[in-house]
Structure 1
Amino acid sequence: MSAKATSAKATSARSGNATEQLYALIANEEDARVCKDIPEEACREVPRNFFLILASNVLTKLGDLLISPKTVLAWLLSAVGAPALVAWLVPIRESGSMVPQMVIAAWVRRKPVRKWFWTLGSVGQAVSVVAMAGSIWFFEGYVAGGGLVAALVAFSLARGFCSVSMKDVQGKCIPKTRRGRLSGLATTIGGTATVVLTALLFWDRGDPGVGFYTVLLLLAASLWIIAGILFATIQEHEGETDGGDNAIREAFNSLSLLRDDAPFRHFVITRALLLCSALAAPYFVVLAQKEADSDWLLGVFLLASSLASSVSASFWGWMADTSSRRVMIRGASMASAVCLLVGLIALVAGERTGTIWFYPAAFFVLSIAHAGVRLGRKTYLIDMAGGNKRTDYTAVSNTVIGVLLLVTGGFTALISLISDVAVIITLGLMGLAGAISAVRLREVTSD
């Protein structure tokens, strides 16, 4: 063997040892290769795969910030002269990636290696974001707005591939008791980076032009491209497959899980009730705007959301590796408590509480609770099943929740005709029911 080849091999070995040592530090154990629920050959690749999945998640979380429908895309539609389309952004962004997932899953589960679906979805999201940038740069008015919304539809569909395949790849490559901290660490790093980006990009910038936001979208697209390349290098071993001639028929057949699988049905009901933590957040912002209509409040809420993720996600992740069920209970209880507290104070004292910091502080606590709810239910779903059942669980759950999200959004919109406070109290009671439902879930982390 040549001296050059020997040197390259030694460098590779040192790099591998460094990866394993860092993984052992994060895993908080002497044997970094402890494995539960994955085969021995996959166990050997865990440290490297852990950091590849982590890096991919962090990059896409940053991309999500740069094309946030609640801030960036909403501003862009107003800037190009299509404000009437703003109402479609959040429903398309959230439900568009969930509703078709049963059909996507029927295709995905036929393949023994599924990382390529995540890579495909990541590249698809990048192409969609480039199309958004092209729409606002080359067109104006509702032509530009329509192009942006059409690109968002494609973005959401591509995201559906990532959602279905991520949980399956993570379940095959990362052992139980390590999945929660992976998700938590990704959210913490992404949240911290979000704080920095918020300060650098949006703080005290006045009114940025279309050119600034076009560059911003292209930057986001590049993050998804890099994430897709990293994810493609994951060492994923072949898993279970099954066939079927018709993906749509298989998709609707998988709905029988809701009828026949009682633990899964209970989880979906619980997850539906836990939507309260996501749906309540905009109403906190609405009440804050009534308290003081200051431009800098938007920056405060962005920072509150980012800080909540960065300070709490790893904590929730480590707890989820012990019991993801208890994380859901605690997150739901916290979300319910803050909603009911805010609602009752606003009901008694009036929507104007007299202090500008009350609603941002409550929003910060709600964001911590939402991080726990989100991470707990993701870890629970990954741990509760293996093989193709995990893919089916993910697809059916997301499809049902996507539909219920639209229904619940319409329901809360009707209640808001009475008052925003009534919506917050209703969602607080919904969260309390979710916490009670989560108490009755079975433990899956230690199975």
Structure 2
Amino acid sequence: MLEKLYRYLNNETGERVCTDITDEACKHVPKNYFLLIFSSVFTKLGDTLSNPKTVLTWLMSYVNAPIYLISLIVPIRESGSMVPQVFLSRYVNRQSIRKWIWVVGSFLQFLAIASIGFIALFFEGTTAGWLIILAVIIFSLSRSICSLSSKDVTGKCIPKTRRGKLKGYTVSISGILVLLAGLYILYKSKSDATINFYSNLIFFASVTWLIAAIIYSRIKEFPSNIKSNEEESSFISKLGLLKTDKHFRDFVIARSLLLCSALTAPYYVLLAQKYIGKEAYLLGLFIIAKGIASIISSPIWGKFADKSSKNVMAIAVLIASVLGIITFFVITYFQSIRSLTWIYPIAFFILGIAHGGVRLGRKTYIVDMAKGNQRTNYVAVSNTVIGLILLVTGGLSALVSLISIEGVVLVLSLFGLLGAFKSYTLPNVE
């Protein structure tokens, strides 16, 4: 049944495609394909229900955390999961089986997110804000080892021209669950939008990482070729890839310019709270918008990414940038429109489509660009560099947001236009 479903989803009628994986791994592709889908579905559901761009922004505002702390949670979560990777890659490269690294990381994320639920119940104001920041840091470090190992596990278990569809189906299925969660929040907001409700939402989100860890442990992974200590690249030599490998360097530059789709998201939520209010139904609408965006766009992005992932990055970030520029002018010059409730979920829906394409495109691109330990090094170096850039841009955005929230959206969107051009100039790797 898995074989038939796998062939149907990938339009495979003849001999199974096993490009870029071993003959042993080829025998287990259908089973691993669906284990990867369902483990990722649960983590993506958890990500949405504890997302710093929506739920944590809302939660921190609800417990009266300062706005500068709210502005920091996205760059801290993203950079915290990226910066350590170049240091951790040395350990990962020495492991012939890497799925267990992901399992441990997923369990630690379960503990970190669960702690945020308790913080929201028992603390308020600046204290709650800093404790949530601490929990997000722990979550991010745990996420770091998952990110570092997952690309290689996918690269070993799933053939080329199937990886984009895998990610597309994953996001689409999780989008359905996210849509249901958003509808539930919308329903409960009428009667029970208390701190207990938000905490229970976070507790439920934490459990998804525990379920995902159990599913991921069932993946059939075959040993990698590992290097001896003498052969293992040093930290400096890994960073040297940026100097010696022009293709990789161009990808990192392009990726750094794609950050607008991630960094602008919480500011759409803050704009809605500023001009509409903090009613819980708005949070439900944001989550519903994200869910529908994932359901509609992800299979299309996934199919497109297997043909040209660099074009997916370019088109997606262009959408996010144009949206941000339009949002700035609407908020600044059309006061009657900015007070309309519906414009914020619609903007978030469009941003969700764009950000989904950016993420799926860049992940497919880097997995297809390299092999084996080279892939691990590429992921580690690029994520570390992007993490450092996120800390700087996130800190600057937090300061600017104290002056003008919509101004941050405009500046980040202008950088996104450069990212679209740079992504389009990258060579195809499919």
SS of 1:69's equivalent?
coil
- Compute the displacement of 1:227 (Å): 1.0
Paired-residue identity, %: 47
Contact 1:290–1:352 (8 Å) recurs in 2: no
Write the mapping of 1:248-287 to structure 2, written as runs, cut at 5 A: 250-287=234-271
TM-score, normalising length: structure 2: 0.90
- Among residues 19, 32, 54, which one is paired with 2:37 in the alignment? 54
Q: In the alignment, is the contact (CA less than 8 A) between 2:276 and 2:339 conserved in 1?
A: no
For residue 20 of structure 2, give the secondary structure of its aligned residue in structure 1: coil
1:257-406 matches, cutoff 5 A? 257-293=241-277, 295=279, 296-349=281-334, 352-353=337-338, 355-406=340-391
2:172/2:296 contact within 8 Å kept: yes
Gaps of 5+ in 2: none
Q: 1:42 aligns with which of 14, 25, 38?
A: 25
Paired AA for residue 42 in structure 2: L
Per-residue CA deviation, residues 240-266 of structure 1 (Å, 9 max, x unaligned), is: 22233799x823331111111110010
Q: Indicate which of 111, 114, 121 corresponds to 2:98.
A: 114
Report the CA distance shift for 1:235/1:31 in structure 2 as closer, same or farther (over 3 A): farther
Q: Take 1:244 and 1:382, find their aligned partners in 2: how far apart are those partners?
A: 25
How many residues in Structure 1 have an aligned counterpart in Structure 2? 427
Matched letter for residue 56 of structure 1: S
Between the aligned partners of 1:362 and 1:404, the Cα distance in structure 2 is: 26
Query: In the aligned structure 1, how far is the partner of 2:63 from the partner of 2:343?
Result: 34
Is the 1:118–1:228 Cα contact (8 Å) retained in structure 2?
yes
Tell me if 1:123 matches 2:107. Answer: yes
Cα offset for 1:109? 0.8
CA distance in 1, matches of 2:373, 2:380: 11
Q: Answer 1 or 2: higher relative contact order, Cα 8 Å, separation at least 6.
A: 2
> 1:134-185 deviations in whole A, cap 9, x for unaligned?
5556777877665544333222111111100111100110011110011111
TM-score w.r.t. length of structure 1: 0.87
Out of 178, 199, 206, which is 1:221 matched to? Answer: 206
Q: Displacement, 1:120? A: 1.0
State the alpha-carbon separation in 1 of the partners of residues 65 and 276 from structure 2. 27
Residues 316, 354 of structure 2: 8 Å contact kept:
yes
Partner Cα distance (1:416, 1:137) in 2 = 27
Q: Could you tell me how far apart the structure 2 residues matched to 1:215 and 1:347 are?
A: 37
Distance (whole Å) between structure 2 residues aligned to residue 184 and residue 357 of structure 1: 27
CA distance in 1, matches of 2:310, 2:358: 10
Mark the CA change 1:366 to 1:251 in structure 2 (over 3 Å): closer, same or farther: same
Separation in structure 2 between the aligned mates of residue 201 and residue 367 of structure 1, nearest angstrom: 19
Judge which range, 436-445 or 137-146, deviates more: 137-146
Residues of 2 paired with 1:148 and 1:179: CA distance? 34
Task: Determine if contact 1:335/1:366 at 8 Å carries over to the other structure.
Answer: yes
1:175 aligned residue (150, 159, 165)? 159
SS in 2 for 1:203: helix
Query: Is contact 1:287–1:351 with CA below 8 Å preserved after alignment?
Result: no
Report the alpha carbon displacement of residue 63 of structure 1 after superposing the two structures with TM: 1.4
Give the counterpart of 1:184 among 142, 165, 168: 168
Amino acid paired to 1:114: R
Q: Which structure: larger Rg?
A: 1
1:123 aligned counterpart, secondary structure: helix
Answer with 83-92 or 177-186: which moved more: 83-92
Q: Measure how far apart 1:130 and its partner are.
A: 3.6
Kindly report which structure 2 residues correspond to 1:145-184, keeping only aligned pairs within 5 A, or say none: 147-184=131-168
For residues 287 and 74 of structure 1, the distance between their equivalents in structure 2, rounded to whole angstroms, comes to 12
Distance 1:218 1:364, change over 3 A: closer
C-alpha contact 2:81 2:141 (8 A) present in aligned 1: yes
Paired position in structure 2 for 1:7: none
For residues 129 and 348 of structure 2, the distance between their equivalents in structure 1, rounded to whole angstroms, comes to 30
1:269 offset after TM fit, Å? 0.4
Distance in 2 between the 1:333 and 1:80 partners? 35
